[in-house]
Amino acid sequence: MTDILGRTVTLEKPAERIVLGTGRSISVLALIHPDPVSRIVGWRDDFKRDTASYAAWQKAFPAISDIPVVGGGAGETLSVETVSTLKPDLVVLSLYDAEAPAMARSIELLGQLGIPVLVVDFFSQPLDNALPSLRLLGKALGVEPKAEDFIAFYEGKLSTIQDRLAKQAINRPGVFMHVHAGGMPCCSTPGRGVFNEMIEIAGGRNLALAHVPGLYGDVSLEQLLVDDPQIYIATGGAHLAARGGLVLGTGIDDQTAKTTFARLLATPGIADLTAVREGRAFAVWHMFNDSPVNIVLIEKLAKILHPELFTDIDPQATIDAINRDYLAVPMLGTYWVDP
Protein backbone atom coordinates (compact mmCIF):
# COMPACT_ATOMS: atom_id res chain seq x y z
CA MET A 1 0.00 0.00 0.00
CA THR A 2 1.00 3.65 -0.45
CA ASP A 3 -0.12 5.63 2.58
CA ILE A 4 -1.10 9.30 2.91
CA LEU A 5 2.55 10.37 3.26
CA GLY A 6 3.49 8.44 0.11
CA ARG A 7 5.26 5.73 2.11
CA THR A 8 5.16 2.13 0.89
CA VAL A 9 3.68 -0.19 3.50
CA THR A 10 3.76 -3.96 2.99
CA LEU A 11 1.77 -6.59 4.89
CA GLU A 12 2.12 -10.32 4.34
CA LYS A 13 -1.60 -10.78 5.10
CA PRO A 14 -4.52 -8.71 6.45
CA ALA A 15 -3.65 -7.18 9.82
CA GLU A 16 -5.06 -9.02 12.80
CA ARG A 17 -3.18 -7.24 15.62
CA ILE A 18 -3.45 -3.46 15.24
CA VAL A 19 -2.24 -0.60 17.42
CA LEU A 20 -4.22 2.63 16.93
CA GLY A 21 -2.22 5.81 17.39
CA THR A 22 -5.57 7.62 17.59
CA GLY A 23 -8.08 5.71 19.69
CA ARG A 24 -11.13 7.38 18.18
CA SER A 25 -10.19 5.81 14.84
CA ILE A 26 -12.04 2.77 16.15
CA SER A 27 -15.22 4.48 14.95
CA VAL A 28 -13.75 4.53 11.43
CA LEU A 29 -12.91 0.83 11.58
CA ALA A 30 -16.50 0.26 12.72
CA LEU A 31 -17.73 1.41 9.31
CA ILE A 32 -16.01 -1.48 7.57
CA HIS A 33 -15.56 -4.25 10.16
CA PRO A 34 -18.31 -5.87 12.31
CA ASP A 35 -16.02 -6.34 15.34
CA PRO A 36 -13.11 -3.88 15.20
CA VAL A 37 -12.28 -4.43 18.87
CA SER A 38 -11.17 -7.96 17.99
CA ARG A 39 -8.38 -6.52 15.82
CA ILE A 40 -7.05 -3.88 18.27
CA VAL A 41 -4.29 -4.85 20.69
CA GLY A 42 -3.30 -1.33 21.83
CA TRP A 43 -4.36 2.31 21.49
CA ARG A 44 -4.18 5.80 22.84
CA ASP A 45 -7.00 6.41 25.30
CA ASP A 46 -8.41 9.57 23.66
CA PHE A 47 -11.64 7.79 22.69
CA LYS A 48 -12.45 7.31 26.39
CA ARG A 49 -12.82 11.08 26.78
CA ASP A 50 -16.02 10.89 24.73
CA THR A 51 -17.64 9.21 27.70
CA ALA A 52 -21.04 8.60 26.13
CA SER A 53 -19.63 7.03 22.96
CA TYR A 54 -17.19 4.92 24.97
CA ALA A 55 -20.01 3.66 27.20
CA ALA A 56 -21.98 2.58 24.11
CA TRP A 57 -18.94 0.69 22.85
CA GLN A 58 -18.36 -0.95 26.25
CA LYS A 59 -21.92 -2.23 26.18
CA ALA A 60 -21.55 -3.65 22.66
CA PHE A 61 -17.96 -4.88 23.01
CA PRO A 62 -16.97 -5.38 26.68
CA ALA A 63 -13.44 -6.39 25.62
CA ILE A 64 -12.74 -2.76 24.76
CA SER A 65 -12.05 -2.14 28.45
CA ASP A 66 -9.03 -4.45 28.27
CA ILE A 67 -7.20 -2.75 25.37
CA PRO A 68 -3.76 -1.59 26.64
CA VAL A 69 -2.87 2.11 26.42
CA VAL A 70 0.33 2.83 24.50
CA GLY A 71 0.88 6.58 24.63
CA GLY A 72 -0.20 10.04 25.67
CA GLY A 73 -2.04 12.74 23.79
CA ALA A 74 -2.11 13.59 20.10
CA GLY A 75 1.23 14.73 18.72
CA GLU A 76 3.16 12.95 21.47
CA THR A 77 5.41 9.94 21.13
CA LEU A 78 4.22 6.35 21.38
CA SER A 79 5.84 3.97 23.83
CA VAL A 80 7.69 1.77 21.35
CA GLU A 81 8.66 -0.61 24.14
CA THR A 82 5.00 -1.12 25.07
CA VAL A 83 3.95 -1.42 21.43
CA SER A 84 6.58 -4.07 20.72
CA THR A 85 5.41 -6.25 23.63
CA LEU A 86 1.94 -6.34 22.05
CA LYS A 87 3.36 -7.96 18.90
CA PRO A 88 1.26 -5.94 16.43
CA ASP A 89 1.36 -6.61 12.71
CA LEU A 90 0.37 -2.98 12.00
CA VAL A 91 0.47 0.43 13.70
CA VAL A 92 -2.01 3.00 12.32
CA LEU A 93 -1.06 6.65 12.82
CA SER A 94 -2.93 9.82 11.95
CA LEU A 95 -1.24 12.34 9.67
CA TYR A 96 -1.33 14.83 12.57
CA ASP A 97 0.67 12.40 14.71
CA ALA A 98 3.02 11.27 11.97
CA GLU A 99 4.05 14.85 11.20
CA ALA A 100 4.66 15.73 14.85
CA PRO A 101 8.40 16.10 15.64
CA ALA A 102 8.03 13.92 18.75
CA MET A 103 6.81 11.00 16.64
CA ALA A 104 9.76 10.79 14.24
CA ARG A 105 11.91 8.68 16.56
CA SER A 106 9.02 6.32 17.36
CA ILE A 107 8.37 5.69 13.65
CA GLU A 108 12.08 5.06 13.08
CA LEU A 109 12.28 2.56 15.95
CA LEU A 110 9.14 0.75 14.86
CA GLY A 111 10.67 0.37 11.41
CA GLN A 112 13.84 -1.08 12.91
CA LEU A 113 11.69 -3.62 14.76
CA GLY A 114 9.95 -4.61 11.52
CA ILE A 115 6.54 -3.28 12.63
CA PRO A 116 4.72 -1.63 9.67
CA VAL A 117 3.32 1.87 10.22
CA LEU A 118 0.39 3.05 8.09
CA VAL A 119 -0.39 6.79 8.03
CA VAL A 120 -4.01 7.81 7.40
CA ASP A 121 -5.85 11.12 7.69
CA PHE A 122 -9.46 11.86 8.56
CA PHE A 123 -8.71 15.15 10.32
CA SER A 124 -6.19 17.53 8.77
CA GLN A 125 -7.42 17.41 5.15
CA PRO A 126 -10.62 15.38 5.35
CA LEU A 127 -11.98 15.98 1.86
CA ASP A 128 -8.72 15.02 0.22
CA ASN A 129 -7.67 12.18 2.49
CA ALA A 130 -10.65 10.58 4.27
CA LEU A 131 -11.80 8.28 1.48
CA PRO A 132 -8.27 7.24 0.38
CA SER A 133 -7.54 6.53 4.04
CA LEU A 134 -10.66 4.41 4.39
CA ARG A 135 -9.62 2.51 1.27
CA LEU A 136 -6.19 1.89 2.87
CA LEU A 137 -7.77 0.55 6.05
CA GLY A 138 -10.10 -1.65 4.03
CA LYS A 139 -7.13 -3.19 2.28
CA ALA A 140 -5.10 -3.49 5.49
CA LEU A 141 -7.93 -5.38 7.22
CA GLY A 142 -8.88 -7.44 4.17
CA VAL A 143 -12.36 -5.90 3.91
CA GLU A 144 -12.00 -3.95 0.66
CA PRO A 145 -15.58 -4.57 -0.58
CA LYS A 146 -17.08 -3.07 2.59
CA ALA A 147 -14.80 -0.02 2.35
CA GLU A 148 -15.66 0.49 -1.32
CA ASP A 149 -19.36 0.21 -0.55
CA PHE A 150 -19.17 3.03 2.02
CA ILE A 151 -16.99 5.13 -0.30
CA ALA A 152 -19.66 4.87 -3.03
CA PHE A 153 -22.34 5.84 -0.48
CA TYR A 154 -20.30 8.88 0.62
CA GLU A 155 -19.46 10.02 -2.90
CA GLY A 156 -23.09 9.83 -3.95
CA LYS A 157 -24.16 12.07 -1.07
CA LEU A 158 -21.33 14.54 -1.66
CA SER A 159 -21.87 14.81 -5.42
CA THR A 160 -25.51 15.79 -4.87
CA ILE A 161 -24.35 18.82 -2.87
CA GLN A 162 -21.50 19.71 -5.20
CA ASP A 163 -23.58 19.41 -8.36
CA ARG A 164 -26.42 21.51 -7.00
CA LEU A 165 -24.14 24.30 -5.79
CA ALA A 166 -22.21 24.28 -9.07
CA LYS A 167 -25.41 25.01 -11.02
CA GLN A 168 -26.29 28.07 -8.92
CA ALA A 169 -24.80 31.55 -8.66
CA ILE A 170 -24.68 31.29 -4.88
CA ASN A 171 -23.85 33.90 -2.27
CA ARG A 172 -21.42 32.33 0.20
CA PRO A 173 -22.42 33.52 3.69
CA GLY A 174 -19.70 34.36 6.20
CA VAL A 175 -19.45 31.65 8.89
CA PHE A 176 -17.77 31.58 12.28
CA MET A 177 -17.38 28.11 13.77
CA HIS A 178 -16.79 28.24 17.52
CA VAL A 179 -15.25 24.88 18.49
CA HIS A 180 -15.43 23.31 21.96
CA ALA A 181 -17.85 26.14 22.66
CA GLY A 182 -18.43 27.18 26.24
CA GLY A 183 -15.76 24.86 27.53
CA MET A 184 -12.87 27.30 27.33
CA PRO A 185 -12.22 31.02 26.80
CA CYS A 186 -13.75 32.41 23.60
CA CYS A 187 -13.12 31.59 20.85
CA SER A 188 -11.28 28.59 19.44
CA THR A 189 -11.95 28.08 15.74
CA PRO A 190 -10.68 26.11 12.72
CA GLY A 191 -8.31 27.62 10.19
CA ARG A 192 -7.33 25.74 7.04
CA GLY A 193 -8.24 22.09 6.85
CA VAL A 194 -10.55 20.25 9.27
CA PHE A 195 -13.97 21.97 9.45
CA ASN A 196 -12.92 24.70 7.01
CA GLU A 197 -13.05 22.27 4.09
CA MET A 198 -16.56 21.20 5.07
CA ILE A 199 -17.76 24.81 5.34
CA GLU A 200 -16.38 25.60 1.89
CA ILE A 201 -17.75 22.55 0.10
CA ALA A 202 -21.17 23.26 1.65
CA GLY A 203 -21.14 26.76 0.16
CA GLY A 204 -19.86 29.00 2.95
CA ARG A 205 -16.88 31.24 3.80
CA ASN A 206 -14.88 30.62 6.96
CA LEU A 207 -14.25 34.11 8.37
CA ALA A 208 -11.53 32.81 10.69
CA LEU A 209 -9.14 32.31 7.74
CA ALA A 210 -8.27 36.00 8.03
CA HIS A 211 -6.96 35.42 11.55
CA VAL A 212 -5.93 31.74 11.89
CA PRO A 213 -3.08 30.47 9.66
CA GLY A 214 -2.95 26.89 10.98
CA LEU A 215 -5.43 24.06 11.54
CA TYR A 216 -6.81 25.66 14.69
CA GLY A 217 -6.39 28.94 16.51
CA ASP A 218 -8.14 31.56 18.58
CA VAL A 219 -10.14 34.64 17.66
CA SER A 220 -10.87 37.13 20.43
CA LEU A 221 -14.46 37.89 21.34
CA GLU A 222 -13.79 41.49 20.33
CA GLN A 223 -12.68 40.41 16.86
CA LEU A 224 -15.65 38.10 16.53
CA LEU A 225 -17.97 41.01 17.28
CA VAL A 226 -16.19 43.10 14.64
CA ASP A 227 -16.50 40.31 12.03
CA ASP A 228 -20.15 39.76 13.04
CA PRO A 229 -20.69 36.58 10.96
CA GLN A 230 -23.88 35.90 9.05
CA ILE A 231 -23.93 32.38 10.50
CA TYR A 232 -22.64 31.29 13.94
CA ILE A 233 -22.01 27.56 14.42
CA ALA A 234 -20.87 26.12 17.77
CA THR A 235 -19.43 22.64 18.24
CA GLY A 236 -19.60 20.60 21.41
CA GLY A 237 -19.71 17.15 22.87
CA ALA A 238 -20.00 15.08 26.02
CA HIS A 239 -16.41 16.04 26.88
CA LEU A 240 -17.60 19.60 27.68
CA ALA A 241 -20.16 18.60 30.32
CA ALA A 242 -17.71 18.98 33.21
CA ARG A 243 -16.69 22.43 31.99
CA GLY A 244 -20.20 23.79 31.60
CA GLY A 245 -19.91 23.91 27.81
CA LEU A 246 -22.07 22.84 24.88
CA VAL A 247 -23.09 19.20 25.32
CA LEU A 248 -24.44 17.09 22.46
CA GLY A 249 -23.60 13.95 20.51
CA THR A 250 -23.85 10.22 21.14
CA GLY A 251 -25.87 9.36 24.25
CA ILE A 252 -27.01 12.97 24.78
CA ASP A 253 -30.73 13.73 24.94
CA ASP A 254 -32.38 16.55 23.04
CA GLN A 255 -33.21 18.62 26.13
CA THR A 256 -29.62 18.61 27.43
CA ALA A 257 -28.36 19.74 24.05
CA LYS A 258 -30.91 22.55 23.82
CA THR A 259 -30.35 23.71 27.40
CA THR A 260 -26.56 23.91 27.09
CA PHE A 261 -26.83 25.63 23.72
CA ALA A 262 -29.24 28.23 25.11
CA ARG A 263 -26.82 28.88 27.98
CA LEU A 264 -23.98 29.38 25.49
CA LEU A 265 -26.01 31.81 23.37
CA ALA A 266 -26.81 33.85 26.49
CA THR A 267 -23.10 34.44 27.16
CA PRO A 268 -22.21 38.15 27.09
CA GLY A 269 -20.70 38.95 23.71
CA ILE A 270 -22.03 35.83 22.00
CA ALA A 271 -25.55 37.09 22.74
CA ASP A 272 -24.70 40.34 20.94
CA LEU A 273 -23.88 38.72 17.59
CA THR A 274 -26.36 39.55 14.85
CA ALA A 275 -26.56 35.86 13.89
CA VAL A 276 -27.62 34.98 17.43
CA ARG A 277 -30.13 37.80 17.74
CA GLU A 278 -31.69 37.03 14.35
CA GLY A 279 -31.90 33.24 14.75
CA ARG A 280 -28.96 32.13 12.60
CA ALA A 281 -27.03 30.28 15.32
CA PHE A 282 -26.61 26.49 15.22
CA ALA A 283 -24.92 23.76 17.25
CA VAL A 284 -23.27 20.60 15.86
CA TRP A 285 -21.37 17.66 17.33
CA HIS A 286 -17.63 18.28 17.38
CA MET A 287 -16.63 14.67 16.73
CA PHE A 288 -17.83 14.81 13.14
CA ASN A 289 -14.33 16.20 12.58
CA ASP A 290 -12.33 12.95 12.44
CA SER A 291 -14.32 10.32 10.55
CA PRO A 292 -15.96 9.75 7.17
CA VAL A 293 -19.30 10.22 8.91
CA ASN A 294 -18.45 13.88 8.29
CA ILE A 295 -20.73 13.50 5.24
CA VAL A 296 -23.59 13.98 7.72
CA LEU A 297 -22.12 17.31 8.85
CA ILE A 298 -21.56 18.42 5.25
CA GLU A 299 -25.23 17.77 4.52
CA LYS A 300 -26.23 19.67 7.67
CA LEU A 301 -23.99 22.62 6.77
CA ALA A 302 -25.43 22.73 3.25
CA LYS A 303 -28.95 22.98 4.71
CA ILE A 304 -27.83 25.68 7.15
CA LEU A 305 -26.03 27.77 4.54
CA HIS A 306 -28.42 27.29 1.61
CA PRO A 307 -31.75 26.03 2.96
CA GLU A 308 -33.59 26.91 -0.23
CA LEU A 309 -31.40 24.54 -2.27
CA PHE A 310 -31.44 21.54 0.05
CA THR A 311 -34.99 21.12 1.33
CA ASP A 312 -34.89 17.46 0.28
CA ILE A 313 -31.60 16.65 2.03
CA ASP A 314 -32.09 14.82 5.34
CA PRO A 315 -28.95 14.40 7.50
CA GLN A 316 -30.83 12.28 10.04
CA ALA A 317 -31.81 9.87 7.28
CA THR A 318 -28.11 9.64 6.39
CA ILE A 319 -27.27 8.76 10.00
CA ASP A 320 -30.03 6.14 9.95
CA ALA A 321 -28.59 4.60 6.77
CA ILE A 322 -25.07 4.55 8.21
CA ASN A 323 -26.37 2.91 11.39
CA ARG A 324 -28.32 0.32 9.42
CA ASP A 325 -25.76 -0.58 6.78
CA TYR A 326 -22.32 0.13 8.23
CA LEU A 327 -21.60 0.99 11.85
CA ALA A 328 -20.82 -1.79 14.31
CA VAL A 329 -22.04 0.52 17.12
CA PRO A 330 -24.82 2.87 15.97
CA MET A 331 -24.84 6.63 16.43
CA LEU A 332 -27.72 7.32 18.83
CA GLY A 333 -28.07 10.76 20.35
CA THR A 334 -28.48 14.45 19.49
CA TYR A 335 -26.03 15.68 16.85
CA TRP A 336 -27.24 19.23 16.18
CA VAL A 337 -29.49 21.98 17.52
CA ASP A 338 -31.29 24.44 15.27
CA PRO A 339 -32.55 27.91 16.30
Same domain, 126 and 180: no
pLDDT for 41-54, tens place per residue? 999 888 888 888 89
How far apart CA 216 and CA 214 sit, in angstroms, is 5
- Rounded CA-CA distance 292/251 in Å is 20
pTM: 0.94
> Using an 8 Å Cβ cutoff, are 333 and 191 in contact?
no
Q: Are residues 218 and 269 in the same domain?
A: yes
Contact call for residues 228 and 273 (beta carbons, < 8 A): yes
Q: Is residue 118 pLDDT above 90, yes or no?
A: yes
Contacts of 61 (CB under 8 A, 6+ apart): 35, 37, 328, 329
Q: Are strands 333-334 and 249-250 parallel, antiparallel or unpaired?
A: antiparallel
Please report whether residue 154 resides in a domain.
no
Handedness of CA 280, 283, 284, 286 (dihedral sign): positive
Residue 247 banded pLDDT, cuts 50, 70, 90: very high
Nearest to 38 by CA among 143, 133, 111: 143
Q: What mean pLDDT, rounded, does the chain reach?
A: 94
Same domain for 323 and 187: yes
DSSP 44-88: -GGGGGSHHHHHHHHHH-GGGGGPPB-B-STTSPB-HHHHHHT--
Judged against a pLDDT cut of 70, whether residue 73 lies above it is answered with: no
**CATH number for position 197:** 3.40.50.1980
Mean pLDDT of 59-83: 85
Range of lowest pLDDT (69-78, 98-107, 244-253): 69-78
- Which residue range(s) make up the domain with 22? 18-142
* pLDDT confidence band for 101 (50 / 70 / 90): confident
Is 74 or 265 the better-scoring residue by pLDDT? Answer: 265
Last residue in a domain, options 102, 124, 142:
142
Query: Which uninterrupted H or E stretch holds 262?
Result: helix 254-265
Q: What is the pLDDT of residues 165-196, one digit of tens each?
A: 999 888 999 999 999 999 788 999 999 988 99
Which residue among 96, 122, 142 closes a domain? 142
- How confident is the model at residue 72, as a pLDDT? 66
Residue 103 or 57, more confident: 57
What is the per-residue pLDDT for 76? 65
Average pLDDT for 297-304: 98
Q: What gap in Å lies between CA 22 and CA 115, rounded to an integer?
A: 17
pLDDT at 64: 97
CA atoms within 13 A on the CB side of 313: 26
Radius of gyration in angstroms for the set of CA atoms belonging to the chain, rounded to a whole number: 20
What DSSP state is assigned to residue 74? T
Give the pLDDT of residue 74: 60
Residues forming a β-bridge with 250: 333
Q: Does residue 75 have a pLDDT over 60?
A: no
Distance CA 326, CA 216 (A): 31
